[in-house]
Structure 1
Amino acid sequence: MKFIRKEFENDQTAYVDAYILDGEISYQITRQRPALIICPGGGYLMRATKEKEAVAMEFLSKGYHCFVLNYTTYFNERMTSLDRIPPVNPNGYFPNQILELMETMHWIHTNAKEWNIDNKNIFVSGFSAGGHLAAFLSNHWNDSTYTKLLPFSVKENELRPRGVILGYPMLCTDTVDYLQKHCGDDELIKHQSEYISDCLYQNKQPSFEMLKKLDNLEAINENTTPTFIWTTREDAIVDPKNALTYIHRLMELNIDCELHMYSHGPHGLALATKEYAKNKNEIDENIHSWVHLAQEWMDRQTLKG
């Protein structure tokens, strides 16, 4: 396996960690493999550790080249207390994050032959805010509003993922209201919601029109890519009902989709295994089944060619 770190010119805090599998699978026999870009969550304020390398290791073992996108965040360090607000990253505002994801897609296509990547089967996964980012690419991969901002000429369809895998995704713009109502007495999380709004809209109290522009439920169209979603009914950070609405709209357009709604479990479980769990409540073999289900779904997409 080859490891490469690619940094972005616009912000050196953002980078891609690439895990490239060996092309030779047996003596003088090489194989092109599919690729998976992984976008961790963190409310666009930081990047969740358990949704990065851990996920990459899981899918590397299943034959996917993996690319962990450490996109630009609003803060350069984690906010841990209301007594100290970290400095704001001047480059940490949307749409820089979607441009970095698009540039990652372009980078993979550019090196696909050398790395033995099947460039017709590049998938993108995202968790929570990373799910918003992955879904945004799924809906806006050919949107000139963003592609015209890129530092390269886009080739036909190179920014289009083969499919997206979304874990407890932040799909629409009622996230702040839902979070305030359901996250209990966690004042730190409640206070962070205003920074999420500032990151996305450059406004801590965005208007309805501002919210609509970044709402993935509004953005679904006939060119939206196939989508796999998993979430939990008990999620107190992101409204799980939005996943149902998202899938329903995909079905209306006859876009391939799959949804798994687990009956219990908090937000942010990632793999739900003991290796990355903070406590026993974050270990759940049933929820870990999403990995196998997602792999089967991606394999079916790949077979479609």
Structure 2
Amino acid sequence: MKYLVLTTLLYMSTILSAQQPIERPLWPNGAPNSNELTGTEQELEPHRVSNVTQPTITVYPSAHPNSKAIIMCPGGAYTLLATDHEGHDMAPWFHAQNITYVVLKYRMPNGHSDVPLSDAEQAIRMVRQQAAEWNVDPKQVGIMGASAGGHLASTLATHYGSKETRPDFQILFYPVITMDEGYTHMGSRINLLGNRPTAEQLALFSNEQRVDAQTPPAFIMLSSDDQAVPPANGVNYYLALVRNGVSASLHAYPTGGHGWGFWDSFAYKRQWTGELEKWLRSAL
């Protein structure tokens, strides 16, 4: 009886500890590059963070060993991070799917396009290195992003530097994909590449042009009436994936505009959560 009680208490302790978020600095010994921003982090309004100089990951470990892990890159036009509905608010839902969920607080580019990508690569590197501690299957680590965070997620998916930093899958909410002036999000483009990008820079960060057969599978969702980031961003990325034989799932909802994330006010929240749950269980 005593053994049973101790075993039960140990099990409950493990479950509770697994639910506690863990925050870790991304570059404890200093980042290898700089965006030339100085000063301290600023919260422009609740859950809208700018001037990130000390990037972090916040990990919500699954209670189940060998779980999938998803690293979320919040949006904000590469000038701030919307850390609530495009970040921490999603943790309980993913935890209910037995997924280790990670929110990446990444540095803004400030015209230094290598900076966000290096943070995303470091985040996936850390998750794989700590896989046993955080109950993660290192072969099932995905990247997710919303809006400009979707650009960062798709950049990692198409620009990863090694097998160690290649995501196993990607999930994109109403993503910025292209730098093509005809249908990009200009604020994100300017913040990423500056006011006078070269043709080479524009091509390099137009991620629909970077897809190949090694690009990881994708789940893409957007609204047809999005006036901020034209739906053609996600649609053309989907078509590029299909042309290259990459498994892809595209979900276009008729209304909702831009930036709905995990908000209950989005009319199709039940649809996207259900479709994503099914995709995570059956398509990977």
User: Following TM superposition, by how much is the alpha carbon of 1:174 offset from its aligned partner in structure 2, in angstroms?
Assistant: 3.0
**1:82-101 equivalence runs, <5 A:** 93-101=112-120
Given that 1:37 and 1:69 are in contact with CA atoms closer than 8 Å, whether structure 2 keeps it comes out as: yes
Aligned to 1:63: 98
The one of 39, 55, 72 equivalent to 1:14 is: 55
Percent of aligned positions with the same letter in both sequences? 27
Deviation at 1:288, TM superposition (A): 4.0
* C-alpha distance after superposition, 1:129-174 (max 9, x if no partner): 01001111111123xxxxxxxxxxx6xx221212100000000013
1:178/1:138 CA distance change after superposition, 3 Å: closer
Give the one of 268, 293, 298 matched to 2:275. Answer: 293
Deviation readout 1:232-284 (Å, 9 max, x if unpaired): 011111110222221112111111000001011111010231xxxxxxxxx13
TM-score (normalizing by structure 2): 0.79
- CA 1:174–1:288 in 2, change beyond 3 Å: closer, same or farther? farther
> What is the CA–CA distance in structure 1 between the aligned matches of 2:173 and 2:76, rounded to whole Å?
13
How far residue 210 of structure 1 moved from its aligned partner, in angstroms, is 2.1
Match of 1:158 in 2: 164
Q: What's the Cα RMSD here?
A: 2.0
Deviation readout 1:114-135 (Å, 9 max, x if unpaired) = 2221111111110000100111
Aligned-partner residue type, residue 208 of structure 1? A
TM-score, L = length of structure 1: 0.74
Q: Number of matched residues?
A: 242
Amino acid at match of 1:158: E
Matched with 1:106 is: 125
Where do 4+ consecutive residues of structure 1 move more than 4 Å?
175-180
Q: In the alignment, what sits opposite 2:191? A: 199
- Tell whether the 8 Å contact from 2:177 to 2:184 is kept in structure 1 after alignment: no
Please say if 1:221 is aligned against 2:212: yes
**Counterpart residue number, 1:237:** 228
- Residue 66 of structure 2: aligned partner: 32
Contact in 2 for aligned 1:179/1:236 (Cα 8 Å)? no
Deviation for aligned residue 1:101: 0.8
Change (3 A) 1:178 1:210: closer
* Structure 1: runs of 5+ lacking an equivalent: 24-30, 75-88, 143-153, 181-192, 274-282
